[in-house]
Structure 1
């Protein structure tokens, strides 16, 4: 009820709960909400007065004649109105939204229909945080809320204090519990084998964005098929509004066949439900939107894209001498620079000088990678040089030994010192007195009148110093004759095909990420490590190839896959009506590129669309083909708030194999944690490592193993036993015996092509160290990081996942073959696992393998030396660890 106070001097102040009305001096004023703070009470001795604070338009006023009791009541009323004024907007919004939110939870639980995040978020949108609301109040105001607010306002404030998403989660847990119970007959029949509880949980979780992390062999296809059937059966979607996207044509065909078969068996409608590859879907979408379905370039569709790059390069080299020179320069010199920040690991050894180092094109061993660049540059220019040449005069003194120069050019009598210093003059390595040594050597040449040219580490590693070196040598009469086709007796260069493949990989990432010339230039300029002559040369070559590629597409009126996906995404972004699917499911999500991710996101309307993305970050092995693992690992950052479900029961491998593979891949802390359980229960044969003495003994060891499997295989009536021999490279096929084995169906595949497949037994025939070992030590060129997603910094991260894929193809046993002294570092890790055994070529348990204590990546092997036998690290010359016999 309104309350009025009257002053003895004739003024009145009325409070109606939300405002104050003051009548004084013949006029009436209203003070709403926060304006009420202008009303106050002053005291001068025993006298009290009502005060009105000044504004820009009116002076302050003092109205006497206020009693002490009225003063207290007015002070309380002002505090109540001001506090309510501060909270009014938030409390009105909370009071409005609360019944909708509570009705959503109650209705959905009653109907057993999942509460999607976006449905709850639409109701909760704009609600302020409880803490932010309280921050508007003074401590005194916060302490008096119980008396200052009405019961309705206190209820609204309490609603703001609730964890709404936790309430949604609890309600969904109850829906899930009820659905698992009432839907048990459906989940038992939807696939040929009943769904597990974790599979059923993934199916029921009909949220807007669900990420399903599925272990190898955990039945992810069953979840996708069951999700389609469940959503149609419950009336959530119509069949023609379900879209299933797969990574390749085989997977799309299997999805379509499975969904048609299973929904048909259940009597559910499925006409119009579409399973497609991203590529087929994108082409159809463009055709629908533009009236003209594009055609994929035949060299792209046929998998001859690297060959096309080589054709373009050959044509450009024939037509343009500048391109030819730059291509050969990068291939022969720039392309050999290690991706490692420390300059790479030694790959050669000079027994005469007893020096580990880097092999040159001429066949010698130099100390450092930058010296190799100088030596190779000289060789390709036809320069006769001597490396580490002794100075002809005896200049040794008490502080300096015999002087040997980096390079010497005997025909011109010119000496060349290559200094290991940075641009600021500091030594690359922490060598005490290095500056004094440089000064002494310069003085030697000055004192004896010998010609000296100089280069430095920093200008050679970024290749900016070669032009100055050329000028200096020519000034001293050294002829330079560049010949990229000169026979190379020593080290191998970067092959044309490999550089073409690098260009094609770079192109895939540039296109997928919609990287422009300007943005690429900005990336180079923003990172000093990339702002080098090497990077600028690569980028220049790339755009020449890119432009020629695009010209060929235009001339043939075709597109490539990346351009097509981006065009499809842009069309949907421009016209959201093209996105007419309510349920979108994506398979093999760990292999999704940024172009695929953009198209997927475009298909998701602001509200009402449901995305189910199924994949396994442990099986992400296609970064080279444009895949961006962060699309899956940072799923919410790409697509919005998401729910994660896990499939951790494998129906393929034994528990032993699952444990070994899981422990191995989980050494990388960046992998998403999973605990994989075998549906068969505990046990299973150990993972076996067969260790042979020499590489040429590998085929015989594989043959002997297959013979043992043949002898122990099941009778023919029970079906043939399948054996997949998985090579890291296609040329590993030569290690597979040609003859047939009774009862066995033996097939060779590369590990990459084995993904999604399985066999009774898996054999990996060449798990050794080296450039073409497993892991492959062919590094990604550092320029790729300019265009592609950030890679995993863990050593051999993708190769580790590749071996995990190989291990988890097996239903029964896994056997790895390695060579003594050339064991893969992966083998050395596996040997630490209690569920891994080591045998010889005959299957007999082998002796202990001694891991090198120095590097941890090699083994100690017996060798003959000057003083007899000793143990040395198998990775020599990279590691010099030795031990006594």
Structure 2
């Protein structure tokens, strides 16, 4: 026997050769007391000693292992060759694709052009199907590939969007350095780094969120100039959209001037209003450019609604009745909790037209209806019989009609026939009262809140009164009669609500079915009934409005924008623009956003919007903050960049304004820094004592004059540095136009004083800002008029944050100031904004309070219960105590503490 080259040779009658699988035929075994080598257990080679047998067994085992390893190697090699053969097509495509990707990124770096999202998506659309290769489960895949193929596979497996971000970062750094001269000279002042980045990041969808005074217009001008200068987009294929003609004109002129200064040709670059552009699109699509309704061109749309309402009231008694009922009785239903306290009766509740205080909104609706119908009634008159007992005080039914000896109970029962769960024992009380009337044989009329808020609830109520012998005037006979108590909503205010509602209905392409569905989603109760009643009125005005448009071939803003979008979507009009820049984007309606989306639909379109959601203040004109906060839903994925350096206000003003407005979680967060740093004065607040809280205007006017004189005196004394023209500009910013009456006829010398509403002041600035009337109330700041929940029915993204838009309006007022903000309020009528500012330590209290409750030395302390009112001294049966200024809405009280505080003068 010999072992050679991993083979076993046995010599006998014939030579036997064992190798590979044949080795398994050999086995060393013990036979009795001797060791031998057996072949297939049929032939044996004897004579092995024990050591020889062990050595031979080990050697045979080694030979078997060698054979198995070689077999496994050959099998693996064959498998890899088969695997490679099966992937040959994909391997070839892998290398080609790797080269394509490398060329793509190398070209981007060599041309130093930002890689837009659409460019990478287009590249990825050409990617071959490498699914088998990329997702092959074999752990030996890389062993089957060459080194080049392995590197290509690893490259392709790496996230390509991450690589884009890395390459874009290099491109941005290179461009910031290479284009420094351009970025320093395209505007009068060099662009900041955050502005320059917004210019260079030429992505398909970019939203620039710009803080007040952060130079957003500079970014728009520079971005357009950069695109033209680099040859990325021709000037004639760039469109700038603004919200009014003056803004569009200003942008056009600024673009022309700055392009010329930079040696760039701006020929063909067009700045337009949305409305002018929309009309041109429709003209292109139809061959007839429509005409905007003349009442819209002249800004008389609200007057048009009022005229339509007057026509409908004259023509249709049913409309007149429903309009007057809604305006008088239901316009404020559910607006607020109890807001009145009668010192004579000690009743906390709702004030009626007649001037009394009732306990519930339902009782107010009935009392006001009775007043309008000239029905003689008494509220909570003691019952004719003494029924007081240990368990019950003397019975006082809700209403009594002395002319017909009729008692009336109005039950807190909803449309579902149920009493609110929190009214424990209420149903037992209902039964007790019914039994009282049965016992004494007195007539009882019963109504429920659910019945009154039914479509024919008041008609049925009036019919019941007539059956009992009462005579009722028709409400529409004299709906504007003198009312000694609460005042109803004015026709103009309701018309404004109709117009605002219309803007959102049209912008969001709502019809009767969709609105009906939205109303049906409301819970049964006052809100749903009120919405149904309002919708019926609205559609009648809407139909008349549309009829007058059609009769004269006119269009309105919303219909025009929607039609222009449809024309672009269906290809009836073709957009010739590759880059669209939109100014003041926070003021966009859904219709405007849809038009923008249609303009940039398709590949390789570049959209940049610039705006500040913190300054979204035109909800009444149809704007929808959601087009900013839900940017990606409207326009697809993109970048959101922020301009957080303001060049207008001091850091003190900036911090106060930002802290106040940014509490709304639905807004886009920003961290705003003032370029001038903490060089200004704190925001200052003066609380003015008024002899009549309902008419504090005389004292406020005096305080305005005092403040203006103070500024003038400090300027003359050299305590204040003059402006560039040698004087100072002061804007007095009111929530309402009537506040202009607070200004003195002749301002002090050295200062230029202008009154503006806060809405009108948007986009403007002054050295000093005075907010002269930050008070609470229906016509206060925040306004309780412009926040009707009906608007939430027609907005896809209603803002649920309390007074969200009013808070943004206040932010706009604060951020108009370059140097200083001063605020006036009235003791006892402080706005909840005042309370919040004071509670947060955001204002410095100044001025002197001459008399009244504040003269007691009670410091301005926010109410710990509601947080919206201040504590004030009151006198009750047990002496002096402290209560909330929002009483009766807030009923917090506590003992008077000894707290004294002094405040500096203006």
Q: TM-score, normalised on structure 1?
A: 0.86
- Distance (whole Å) between structure 1 residues aligned to residue 427 and residue 128 of structure 2: 65
Alignment of 1:390-401 (within 5 A): 390-401=382-393
Query: Computing the radius of gyration over CA atoms, which structure comes out larger, 1 or 2?
Result: 2
CA distance, structure 2, for counterparts of residue 651 and residue 358 of structure 1: 48
Partner of 1:744: 751
Q: Is the 8 A contact 1:455 1:465 kept in 2?
A: no
Q: Is the 8 A contact 1:462 1:534 kept in 2?
A: no
Matches within 5 A, 1:17-416: 97-125=97-125, 141=137, 143=139, 145-146=141-142, 158-159=154-155, 161-339=157-335, 344-416=336-408
3-state SS of paired residue (2:380): strand
Q: After superposition, what is the alpha-carbon deviation per residue over 1:283-314, rounded to whole angstroms, capped at 9, x for unaligned? A: 22323333322221111111111111111111
Q: 1:673-752 counterparts in 2 under 5 A? A: 673-694=669-690, 695=696, 696-713=698-715, 714=721, 718-752=725-759
Shift of 1:717: 8.0
Partner residue of 1:17? none
Q: Displacement, 1:456?
A: 2.1
Do the aligned partners of 2:324 and 2:475 also contact (CA within 8 Å) in 1?
Answer: no
CA distance change for structure 1 residues 128 and 504 in 2, over 3 Å: closer, same or farther? farther
Matching residue of 1:492 = 487
Query: Displacement, 1:782?
Result: 2.5
**Deviation at residue 534 of structure 1 after TM alignment:** 2.7
* Alpha-carbon distance, 1:590 to partner: 0.7
Counterpart of 2:899 in structure 1 is: none
1:466 aligns with 2:473: no
Is the 1:726–1:765 contact (alpha carbons within 8 Å) kept by the matching residues of 2? yes
Shift of the alpha carbon at 1:210? 0.6
- CA distance in 1: counterparts of 2:437 and 2:132, whole angstroms: 80
Aligned residues: 809
Partner of 1:47: none
Deviations 1:466-492 (A, max 9, x none): 344334333333333322315233211
Gaps of 5+ in 1: 1-66
SS at match of 2:420: coil
Quick one: structure 1 residues 435 and 97, their matched pair in 2 at CA, closer, same or farther if it must change by over 3 Å? farther
Query: Deviation of residue 151 (structure 1)?
Result: 6.6
Matched residue, 2:503: 508
- Preserved contact between residue 704 and residue 842 of structure 1 (Cα < 8 Å): no
Q: How far apart, CA to CA, are the structure 1 residues paired with 2:895 and 2:393?
A: 33
Relative to structure 1, the CA distance from residue 152 to residue 407 in structure 2 (aligned partners, 3 Å threshold; closer, same or farther) is farther
1:220-261 Cα deviation digits (max 9, x unpaired)? 000011111111110011111111111122211111111100
CA distance in structure 2 between the aligned counterparts of 1:772 and 1:128, rounded to whole angstroms: 66
Residues 361 and 491, structure 1, Cα contact 8 Å, conserved in 2: yes
Between 172-181 and 699-708, report the one with greater CA deviation: 699-708
**Do 2:727 and 2:751's aligned partners in 1 also have CA atoms closer than 8 Å?**
yes
Instruction: Please give the secondary structure, in 2, of the residue aligned with 1:578.
Output: coil
- Distance, in Å, in 2 between the alignment partners of 1:689 and 1:160 is 63
CA distance in 1, matches of 2:370, 2:82: 88
- Measure, in 2, the Cα distance between the counterparts of 1:90 and 1:399: 92
Shift of 1:96: 5.6
Of 830, 841, 849, the match for 2:837: 830
Gaps of 5+ in 2: 1-67, 691-695, 716-720, 897-906
Cα distance, 1:708 vs structure 2? 1.4
> Within the alignment, does 1:796 sit opposite 2:803 as a pair?
yes
Tell which deviates more after alignment, 315-324 or 462-471: 462-471
Residue of structure 1 aligned with 2:621, choices 614, 617, 625: 625
CA RMSD of aligned residues (A): 3.0
Go from structure 1 to structure 2 and tell me whether the alpha carbon gap of 1:398 and 1:831 turns closer, same or farther (over 3 Å shift).
closer
- Shift of residue 149 of structure 1? 7.1
Alignment partners' CA distance in 2, 1:788 and 1:92:
54
Task: Check the 8 A contact 2:284/2:573 in 1, yes or no.
Answer: no
In structure 1, distance between residues paired with 2:805 and 2:132 = 48
SS in 1 for 2:807: helix
Structure 1 residue 277: Cα displacement: 1.1
- CA drift at 1:160: 5.5
Q: Which stretch shifts more, 112-121 or 424-433?
A: 424-433
Q: Which residue of 2 aligns with 1:25?
A: none
Q: What residue number does 1:821 align with?
A: 828
